[in-house]
Structure 1
């Protein structure tokens, strides 16, 4: 791990300790935070993937109202991402170890009603990533690559949760096991790992898309995961500050 990250991780852990001390949070506080985070997480992850719905429009769709002039696919992407978050939350509350089945189910949530044939299924052709130098795994190697990913995860318990989550995201995106929806699935997977470690979700902001893509490329191609880990850590810290501000305990 990049040693320059250590002060940031220590600051995050100090904020997390404050939040842990405040638990259990009031029910109304938890509910309002959950709704806000679901909207922001869904909007930003979909926007990074090219969805044109604004944050307010995303909130409207989550409330069950259609937005005029927008593609049906974009509406599905919002509702699907919500369902994927609900699945992630269920897994966080269980002792079940990460598995290929979980990853496939997250992807199935992301693409259901959009491409049911591909939803939850590993790709059967080779692909390229637009605008990136990363070369995804050959489709014939996907079963072995995904099995290796799970094996790596099972041996990575000694890492700081944020470092482990960032590395899991990098390794998943480098494999790129699905024909579509890898980014959204990978960011959900990242947050599943963070939340199982007791941290809040790290919401990568749409306005940070270029920095995020560059950091991911540097990790996948150059082997330097420091910038991506820092970006994830700063996103998790931002969410922690949101919790602490509501509780009046942030500095």
Structure 2
């Protein structure tokens, strides 16, 4: 990819540029990957939690724990990617699932005949019960059966190790993501683990992470569904488009340019509106919000 060559020509980044780029990707990946799955933390609350170790607003404790656990998993894939002598294994993937879910819990589920039930979610082990998803058209899409899951995961790992060095890293990461989602090997956390391993593969090949934006969820799911019909290029091209964004942000950081986006400001404005800027709540707002206020003041009175 053209952007990758441009980034390589600018490496190594200055320490301060590397730090702000890492922070940007850390917040974007943690926020979006969890928000896609229903986590209620806003971008600003995610920043407040992960960067400043604080929380604000009426946020479920489980969502805070989930976000912090996902951040730990992100650090795990980054560390693993740096250790080139350690191959990707099923055990590591199971550890990622255990990390993000923290502990076993009960969750609402759907039986094969479409009935609602509750079942215990076991972490770090392959599923013992069937799992499925209700599609837009009302059909129930069944993933790989529990009995076939271990063999399918073995096949996936064999495929991955065979294709390393043959497929372009972005294609390898995208296809692995899709094949993993097709299996859905765990009781819960499959989407997050799929995106974590996808980015592990990219990190290992010195690419920046791909961020699947929560506001682009429909396009993401559409690409996966098109792949289900045999058009695997749909998900590959989707991931490639997201990589263009990541490379663009990386090049800007390497050149010392701003990597704040308009939507970042929109996120902070939403926080300010929700908090209503009262004296009692100002201290809860992320530092970026104070910078935003200063910019507004400068525009009006400067």
Q: Same fold (TM over 0.5)?
A: yes
Equivalenced residue count is 237
Which contiguous aligned blocks of 4+ residues in structure 1 show a shift greater than 6 angstroms? none
More strand by share: 2
Could you tell me whether the CA contact under 8 Å between 2:135 and 2:141 is conserved in 1? no
Deviations 1:42-74 (A, max 9, x none): 111111101111111111111221233111111
Deviation at 1:249, TM superposition (A): 8.6
Aligned counterpart in structure 2 of residue 102 of structure 1, from 80, 83, 92: 92
Q: What's 2:194 paired with? A: 186
Q: Runs of 5+ in structure 2 lacking a partner?
A: 106-119, 258-302
Deviation at 1:200, TM superposition (A): 0.5
What does residue range 117-128 of structure 1 map to in structure 2 within 5 Å? Answer: 118-128=122-132
Deviations 1:123-176 (A, max 9, x none): 110011233754211101111111111011111120111111111001000000
TM-score by length of 2: 0.75
Q: Runs of 5+ in structure 1 lacking a partner?
A: 1-12
Q: What's 2:135 paired with? A: 131
Could you tell me whether the CA contact under 8 Å between 1:112 and 1:119 is conserved in 2? yes
Q: What's 2:268 paired with? A: none
More helix by share: 1
Which structure: larger Rg?
A: 2
TM-score by length of 1: 0.89
CA–CA separation in structure 2 for the residues paired with 1:159 and 1:121: 29
Q: What's 1:51 paired with? A: 39
Could you tell me whether the CA contact under 8 Å between 2:31 and 2:46 is conserved in 1? yes
CA–CA separation in structure 1 for the residues paired with 2:182 and 2:24: 31
Deviations 1:174-201 (A, max 9, x none): 0000111100110111111111122110
Computed over aligned residues only, the root mean square deviation of the Cα atoms, in angstroms, reads 1.8
Aligned counterpart in structure 1 of residue 160 of structure 2, from 138, 153, 157: 153
Aligned counterpart in structure 1 of residue 208 of structure 2, from 200, 220, 226: 200
Deviations 1:88-118 (A, max 9, x none): 0011101211110111111111101464962
CA–CA separation in structure 2 for the residues paired with 1:107 and 1:98: 14
